[in-house]
Structure 1
Amino acid sequence: MTAEIVEHPEYATVCRTIDADHDHLVAHYQAHHLGVSKKYRGGEKLAATCVTFYVMRKGAQHARHLVPPFLDLAYKEGSHPRRIATDVCEILEQPVALSIRGGNAVFGADGEPGTVGLVFRQGDRDFLVTNAHVVTDPGVLPGPVTVRVPHSAVEIEGIVRRMDDLGAAEIRSDAALVEVALNAVAPGRFRGTDLILVGYGEIANNDPRRFFFVSKEFVHEARWAAWVPGGAQITVDGHDKIYASFHKLSVIVGQASPGNSGAVVFCLSKSGLVAVGLLFGGALAINEIWVFPIRRCLKQMGVDV
């Protein structure tokens, strides 16, 4: 009996399918990583959900084995004769952590710049959140942090109070919590910057909303592209690391560039702007950013949202 092709399976089922044979699929088909996305044909986005194989280059000359057109779905309650379509997407170059200035500049002790992603007041203390790889390099303890306020000579000193472990075998949050001087953060804003967030939310799979992030005083716009449940290699300050469990967003206004890492990704709600993600890297050649869920990052930092 021919297995039924399912165009709209539950995302949990697709993620289970990827997880069940992830390492073999990546190695056998020489994929950089796998994701859940909508299928494209001739540049047109289709309604069908698929398992996407992200490769450096397409074509038989670049792989030992061609990706099959379908994969068997792995159901929680057991085997069903059902399949899901696959797709292949070129990323052209190694994804990188975007660790240069964007928006408000934050500098680690090594002098490398990054981005202030989120600022807030908790009790009588002021904090900012950025990427762990912004405040230090893998394997190096963080030192003092300096925030440079736009359009002024003002610099604010900060101390890293908590950060994710960049030495972990698989990184699922890349965040650092930095305490800055009291009153450096005004309610909902940082030294007069006009990014005012009213709450926190989530990015859904196949989320239809418009997403935004601010970098170099330019408002970029992006759309949901895929969910990556398994590991993907990314270069962080010269170190190859495995990041997992993140969303991919396609930038449609502006250009993903070295300068975006640490930016908060937000969307519009009836009451204002809602933070949904922390940008940590991307595939620049295809204008794509990679984003961890903001609630997960803040939970890792011990921040109650």
Structure 2
Amino acid sequence: MQLVDIAVNLTHPSLAVQAEALLERAYAAGVCQMVLTGTSLNESEASLALCRQLDVSGQRLFCTAGVHPHDASSWDGASANALKALLAQAPVRAVGECGLDFDRDFSPRPAQEKALEEQLALAVELQMPVFLHEREASQRMLEILRHYRDQLPAAVVHCFTGERRALYAYLDLDLHIGITGWVCDERRGTHLYPLLKDIPGERLMLETDAPFLLPRSLRPKPRSGRNEPAYLGEVLREVALHRGQREDALAAQTTACARAFFGMPAILDEPAPES
């Protein structure tokens, strides 16, 4: 059984210091490919460097490149050109993480919207998929996306935690949906249970968003309290349960979806690479 983790913040200091061991654990757990998340120009460059450093085969580690809404205030006239240069690199497979976050508002909303729109325009120009972040901003996100969607090859709402209305609106735009360990949280994720069956299999992907969102249902719990790709199987288990699917069938479905979305090759059943 092979899994693909579409969101790993491997540049986070808590993961970067143990990157090689972390990858070995992921491969041993069946997570054979990962997408490293770029959240700023600097972090996108760092994610690209890790892909090249830790995966000489170019078959297992890929990344996104973009500017997160938290960092949208940094977007200026030079940002689009700098991002375009990053997007030309082979391991970079999507524009993002970009989007809107009206929950924390770490950047002013007009700055968030400007950065999102310019990154969507770049994705249209380069015909690349988009890796989206949204918190408490689904209506405005939809308004902006509608202007670009017909020209985009694909887009995924990463770490979806919203309500039914937002999910259906995203699906109506033919967006992909990423599900994280949020669904394993009995305090705040149970509203997702009945929604999981409504996501078409060809548009569903799994992610850890490591080191964040450690599945609360995981046993035994790691002493570090940090999430990592090796725990993606717990997300698979929970999603399969509430979709009424066998885990192996869901793994095959979500892996095929992720590979098609990010243009990743199939991995033959072979030993994981040694560090």
Q: Counting strand residues as a fraction of each chain, which structure ranks higher? A: 1
Whose RCO is larger (CA < 8 A, sep 6+)?
2
What's the TM-score, normalizing by structure 2? 0.24
Q: Counting helix residues as a fraction of each chain, which structure ranks higher? A: 2
Rg comparison, structure with higher value? 1
